[in-house]
Amino acid sequence: MSDLSTRLGPIQFENPVLVASGTFGYGTEAASLTGAARLGGIVTKTLTIEPRRGNPPLRLHETPGGLINSIGLQNVGVDRFREEKLPKLRELGVPIIASVGGKQVDDFVEGVRRLSDAPGIAAYEINISCPNVKNGMEFCQRPESAEEVIRSVKKVATLPVWAKLSPNVTHIGEVARACAGAGADGLTAVNTFVGLAVDLESRRSVLPFGTGGVSGPAIFPLALAKVREVVQATEIPVIGCGGISDAAAALAFLLVGARAVQVGTVSFREPDAASRIVAEIDRFLEEHEVSQLEDWIGSYED
């Protein structure tokens, strides 16, 4: 077996495959079916201070090569997560990344503060880029606002802080540099692309919210280009995300410089897809006589 370990700042992961926020529940649902204990790490559903019911249905719409979602950050809130979800999640024995969202800067700060002494969390992923809630992308569309959120969170954070970036910006590299300058310890790139599905009979959007977030294999080449831009723009660790359904896609993100990846939409179709991809990466590296993942990461040549 190859050495699949990867380090993101102070955190050592046994392998580079994590699951993306919002696509894997709280991580404990049907853990034996998903192979959750074999993953590099689990990113939780995005947590807000107060519980959220999310957007009204219809929330999901299949599209060629992908999925449009408009969940609206439904979650139990940070307090119930600490009390009810986190203890079971810790039993899996993998690093836990708590995704934190909010409507205003103080919400992110308070969410992180309430999780600061919760045992078992390895890092915070600050979701400044959700496209299917009101004002969800407000914080990521200007470097200054992204910087304000991350700088404010860093003042209370006791663990590494990752910023989750949106692809729906003109220059993602500028936002990445702003987050890095504000003290971010890592960058997750990218969240979903804004998309629209319409019903020809009613002449309205299929989703009551209007637009939604497009994910799945269709966005892979778009996300890969964004990740490459982020890697080139900063020197802090990057976690690649967007359209991964097999080891080839995961290895492409790692090749262009991401130090880890997040698997998302494919988990709806194949619950243990992420654990399968771990095995596929190992097999690929062994077949290509790459003894350690570190030698593969960032070996892309323009």
* Catalytic member of 130, 140, 179, 241: 130
Residue showing tokens 């399968």: 276
For this structure, is 130 an active site residue? yes
What angle do the packed helices 172-181 and 143-154 form, to 10 degrees?
A: 30
Output b/e per residue, 118-135; b: 16+ Cβ within 10 A: beebbbbbbbbbbbbbee
3-state secondary structure 70-90: CCCCCECCHHHHHHHHHHHHH
Give, as one character, the DSSP assignment of residue 116.
Answer: T
Region of residue 282 (phi > 0: left; psi between -120 and 50: alpha; otherwise: beta): alpha
CA distances from 53 to 14, 76, 81, 269, 279 (A): 35, 8, 15, 24, 36
Amino acid residing at 222: L
Phi, psi of 242 (to 5 degrees): 135, 100
**Active-site annotation, residues:** 130
